[in-house]
């Protein structure tokens, strides 16, 4: 019998931002964007240092799409499955982010690399190329264990703290309960911030800056997302809901500030 391999294009949905993300066999095809060369260099560096928690770049296909390796496992989608809310998973994500930061620490990105994210110094002198979008949908799990980060579209030079805070926005989550996924609706966010920071190994002296950084980040996200929405596409579809969610999260953070801050120590 002659074996025939037919590679169907299976549409993938995650953060709902990128249109045209498909799986083809053991690869993922995504539209090439202005920042793709910067991300590809980053992913190549991660491969060169043997970091296994990110996809590999395999090239560009005949239709001008980037070709990445399919990372085996499961990336959660909303509604999030129950295991995403466990503390063991939270610790695993903290450790994974730490491993990523250690792997990327030696990377010197070319000057003027076309990162997508705004690289203002609001978050401090850059230390690493942060992932900057560690949502549940951008983490691949195997056997319930977080093993890889995907979707490096928002990667850019930043501080480790900023990347931690971005992860906490989603994994705390630092969000109004009304905007949380069901599995995270009733969680003890203060405790989860602590568990994540401990698993990451966030230095004590940086912990006092976690909530102020979250505040700065919310303001900037609001501005950046509004600007992106004005340019159309996936971001426009998510606005104004995403802007309103940020405002509610800011209010919730203000209301719970002291209690959350006390948990971080």
Of 36, 42, 55, 173, which one interacts with ligand ADP (CB under 6 A)?
Answer: 55
Tokens 């926005």 label which residue?
A: 169
The region that residue 152 occupies, defined by phi over 0 for left and psi between -120 and 50 for alpha, beta otherwise, is alpha
Q: How many helices (H) and strands (E) does the chain have?
A: 8, 9
* 173-192 core/surface letters (b: 16 or more CB in 10 A; e: else): bbbbeebbbebbeebebbeb
Q: Which positions from 92 to 131 touch ligand ADP by CB under 6 A, shown as an x/- string?
A: ----------------------------------------
Closest contact distance (angstroms) between CB of 231 and ligand ADP is 15
Among candidates 63, 1, 78, which has minimal Cα distance to 27?
Answer: 63
Of 66, 116, 151, 163, which one interacts with ligand ADP (CB under 6 A)?
Answer: 151
Residues binding ligand ADP: number (CB under 6 A): 20
The stretch among 17-25, 81-89, 105-113, 225-233 that binds ligand ADP (CB under 6 A) is 17-25
The nearer residue to Mg ion, 123 or 151, going by C-beta atoms, is 151
* Nearest-angstrom CA–CA distance, 127 and 179: 32
Closest contact distance (angstroms) between CB of 54 and ligand ADP is 9
Interacting positions 149-168 with Mg ion (CB under 5 A):
151
The nearer residue to ligand ADP, 18 or 256, going by C-beta atoms, is 18
Residue 248 CB contacts under 8 Å (≥ 6 apart), including other chains: 175, 176, 178, 179
The stretch among 76-84, 136-144, 205-213, 255-263 that binds Mg ion (CB under 5 A) is 136-144
Q: Which structure tokens are listed for 125? A: 């002198």
In this structure, is the dihedral angle defined by the CA atoms of residues 174, 217, 17 and 90, taken in order, positive or negative? negative
Of 21, 167, 211, 263, which one interacts with ligand ADP (CB under 6 A)?
Answer: 21
Paired sense of beta strands 145-149 and 156-158, if any:
unpaired
Query: C-alpha 143: how far from its chain's center?
Result: 20
The nearer residue to Mg ion, 15 or 53, going by C-beta atoms, is 15
Residues present in the chain in total: 265
Query: C-alpha 97: how far from its chain's center?
Result: 10
Of 51, 70, 235, 257, which one interacts with ligand ADP (CB under 6 A)?
Answer: 70
Residue 75 sits in the site that holds ligand ADP (CB under 6 A): yes
Residue 257 sits in the site that holds ligand ADP (CB under 6 A): no
Write out the residues near ligand ADP by the rule CB under 6 A: 12, 14-18, 21, 28, 30, 55, 68, 70-71, 75, 137-138, 140, 150-151, 153
Which residues are near Mg ion by CB under 5 A?
14-15, 138, 151
């Amino acid at each position: 019998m002659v074996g025939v391999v037919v590679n169907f294009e299976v549409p993938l949905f995650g953060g709902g931002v990128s249109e045209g993300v498909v799986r083809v066999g053991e690869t993922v095809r995504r539209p090439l964007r202005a920042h793709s060369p910067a991300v590809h260099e980053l992913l190549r560096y991660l491969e060169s240092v043997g970091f296994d928690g990110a996809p590999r770049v395999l090239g560009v296909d005949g239709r001008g799409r980037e070709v990445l390796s399919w990372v085996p496992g499961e990336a959660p989608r909303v509604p999030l499955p129950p295991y995403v809310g466990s503390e063991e998973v939270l610790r695993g994500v903290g450790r994974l982010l730490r491993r990523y930061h250690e792997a990327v620490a030696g990377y010197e990105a070319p000057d003027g690399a076309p990162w997508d994210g705004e690289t203002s110094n609001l978050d401090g002198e850059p230390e690493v190329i942060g992932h900057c979008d560690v949502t549940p949908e951008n983490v691949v799990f195997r056997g319930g264990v977080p093993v890889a980060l995907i979707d490096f579209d928002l990667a850019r030079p930043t501080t480790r703290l900023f990347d931690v805070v971005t992860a906490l926005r989603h994994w705390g989550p630092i969000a109004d309960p009304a905007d949380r996924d069901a599995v995270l609706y009733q969680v003890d966010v203060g405790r989860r911030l602590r568990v994540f920071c401990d698993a990451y190994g966030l230095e004590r002296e940086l912990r006092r800056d976690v909530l102020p950084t979250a505040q700065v980040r919310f303001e900037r996200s609001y501005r950046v997302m509004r600007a992106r929405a004005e340019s159309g596409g996936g971001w426009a579809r998510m606005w104004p809901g995403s802007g309103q969610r940020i405002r509610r999260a800011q209010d919730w953070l203000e209301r719970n500030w002291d209690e959350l801050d006390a948990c971080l120590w």
